[in-house]
Amino acid sequence: MARIFGIGNKKGSGGSVPGGGKGATNSETDSETLSAMSDLNKRLKTRNIKAKLVLGRNHLFIRGTYADSDGIKKERKIPTRLTADINNLVSAEARILTLTEYVNKNGFIPDQLMWDAPKLEIKGSSKGTTVSEAIKVFEIDYWKDKDRTKLPKQQTWKGILGHFNKLPQDSVLNMGVLIDEIKQSEPESDKRRKLCQYYKRLAVVNGLSNVELIDDYVGRYKAKQRVNIDPAKLIELVEMVRGNEKWGWLTASAFCFGTRSGETFSLIPDLDSGTATSVCIPKGKKSMYIKYPIALTKELAIKWELDNIQREYTFDLNDYDPTRTKYLGNQWLRYLKPRAKELGIPFLELTDIRHNWGIRSIHAGIDPRVASKSLGHSINTHYEIYNSTYEQIDSINASRKLNN
């Protein structure tokens, strides 16, 4: 392949700048930029990305060993087309990530660099930046103050990236592209709300104008009120599946203790006290912690022998595996759904079993503060979810006072 990048591919020697080689100079590059480049290269090494950002004639280059489309593999200095300015380092890092992703997928560098391809300038766009490159810029900004080793953070990023991947990756990023994708989602839905939230952040990070246009599409999402399942039906379901070594104990425990499906894999019952210990996996960005769910009821926990733990996987605060937990949760639900239908429960989610515990706790007269701690959410969330049940109980109690 000819010298497609407009520079020689000879290996340089020496140099006093980060990864520098022959022809590199730092005479016009300030120490702050050089220090930031050094930090950038350390981040790349930590992520096992075999590339460096280096200087050459006051411009930024990517240095690494790559094969071209002819199969010739050697060390190359690839131009980013960016000057050695600290304000260009985020774009440079994004181009390194984009190139690395391409090489990992195809095995060689492209004949024409992504940032060299001609792009149509559109008003309100991010200066010809493709969606793919804009996502890389967002990724750098997203992780700059976060710990990549934290599993909850990884899961959050995976969810955000899933929304971004719906966009046309080779298109120039502009408000029209973002809004067109938002319009494909159901109005007033949680998905629409999340798309607006993440796409607006993508637009802001990449310097788009008129980002407030997205606000017109957010709508007013309101979580759907869950329909309470007859507790007798759920007890019948537990009785049906209790003998199953894989899912029986989990189902009975979720009904008795009201844990989230994932939390149930960590549950350790104490039948003497009628409580249990489990890891709490709260929604959002909150950290996991240990909570102490209450058995509702202790008699059922004893009857179903919940001290005889039967499950193929468990975890604690230090070794939670969100991917495996979600996978097993989906398997668990697939096992339960057809059996629930046999008993006249047409639409069952594992969350319904937990929700049923919340309803029963109210009818049992458990203090809302205690119930909310057992479930692992705030008292405000508790009242928001179970408001209709509390109103029903209040009406019943008021009626009894009037008619006695």
Distance CA 348, CA 332 (A): 12
Distance CA 206, CA 131 (A): 10
Same domain as 191, residue 288:
no
The tens digit of pLDDT for each residue in 264-322 reads 999 999 999 999 999 999 987 688 999 999 999 999 999 999 999 999 999 999 999 88
Enclosing domain of residue 299: 247-403
Helix (H) and strand (E) counts in the chain: 14, 8
248: Cα within 13 Å, side-chain hemisphere: 15
Q: What pLDDT is recorded for position 332?
A: 96
Out of 86, 117, 148, a domain closes at: 117
Asked if the structure places residue 108 within a domain, the reply is yes
Asked if the structure places residue 242 within a domain, the reply is no
Same domain as 398, residue 253:
yes
Coil, helix or strand at residue 377: coil
Same domain as 399, residue 258:
yes
Same domain as 278, residue 393:
yes
Asked if the structure places residue 237 within a domain, the reply is no
Out of 172, 187, 222, a domain closes at: 222
Question: How would you label 265-295 residue by residue, b for 16+ Cβ within 10 Å and e otherwise?
Answer: bbbebeeeebbbebbbbbeeeeebeebebbb
Same domain as 48, residue 155:
no
Q: Return phi, psi of residue 237, to 5°.
A: -65, -45
Same domain as 389, residue 299:
yes
Same domain as 264, residue 149:
no
Tokens representing 404?
């006695």
Same domain as 142, residue 63:
no
Which CATH number characterizes residue 349's domain?
1.10.443
Q: What pLDDT is recorded for position 122?
A: 41
Asked if the structure places residue 103 within a domain, the reply is yes
Q: Return phi, psi of residue 60, to 5°.
A: -100, 135
Same domain as 253, residue 146:
no
| pTM score | 0.51
Asked if the structure places residue 185 within a domain, the reply is yes
The tens digit of pLDDT for each residue in 16-32 reads 345 444 444 444 568 88
Same domain as 104, residue 192:
no
Same domain as 262, residue 211:
no
DSSP letters spanning 260-292: -HHHHTT-EEETTTTEEEEEE--STTPPPEEE-
Report, as ranges of residue numbers, the positions in the chain whose pLDDT lies below 50: 1-17, 19-27, 119-126
Total domains in the chain come to: 3
Tokens representing 46?
């930590």
Asked if the structure places residue 227 within a domain, the reply is no
Asked if the structure places residue 3 within a domain, the reply is yes
Same domain as 276, residue 178:
no
Out of 66, 96, 117, a domain closes at: 117
Q: Are 275 and 266 in contact (CB under 8 A)?
A: no
Asked if the structure places residue 198 within a domain, the reply is yes
